[in-house]
Amino acid sequence: MLVFSKARLVFLSVPKTGSTAYQAALAPHAAMIVSDPPELKHAPVFRYNRFFRPALEKYIGAPLDVLAVMREPVDWLGSWYRYRRRPFLQGQPKSTHDMSFDAFVDAYTQGEKPPFANVGSQAKFLEPQKNGTAATHLFRYEDQAGLQSFLQERLGLEVDIGRQNVSPPMPLELSDATLAKLRRKCPQEFALYDSIRPGGAYTPLPRD
């Protein structure tokens, strides 16, 4: 998570959306950098609202805009699948070695997910809170040009983003049946992603 006090902007770090690269590039310009532990670096909207927002609004002022990035749901799961195939995880409960991407996604749709498929939810991460706290700008991961243009205008600086923490590319095959199951079990992920419009506008999903 990055806080830019002069720009009155908070950049939440949704996992597997390139947040590490943005943090590395923008950290010198941020008033506050939360890079560890992961539970705080990747603080979702509810955690930001509970622990960070009150202090930030007290000392910086309200309102603060909240920026986040969302990845296409299947592509997001593909990134997690590749990430958990790293050699040092082999043999551990969170490893995705010796399984297909299709099996990984099928496990993700289960009510009680096994450890290797327990990777969270982008929609839950971005869920608006009862007091109205929500992401005010949401960009698709694929719209890097739009995101960087927004940051350049808002922060008043050139944004040069490198690539960090990138999982090795590999073909990812998903059967029609598993994709249909994913869409049926996790409709909020697709609905939120499909609602994102150019420039960071989107339609927040209602709370459960």
Confirm whether 203 is domain-assigned.
Answer: no
d(CA 124, CA 121): 5
The pTM score is 0.94
Number of domains in the chain: 1
For residue 6, give the CATH number of its domain.
3.40.50.300
Beta carbons within 8 Å of 143's beta carbon, 6+ residues apart: 198
Confirm whether 92 is domain-assigned.
Answer: yes
The token pair that represents 11 in the structure block: 């950049």
39-55 residue pLDDT tens: 999 999 999 999 999 99
Q: Find the domain containing 172 and state its range.
A: 2-195
CA 153 to chain CA mean position, Å: 22
Confirm whether 207 is domain-assigned.
Answer: no
Residue 102: predicted pLDDT: 98
Residue 160: predicted pLDDT: 79
**167 pLDDT more than 90:** no
**165 pLDDT more than 80:** no
The token pair that represents 90 in the structure block: 């082999």
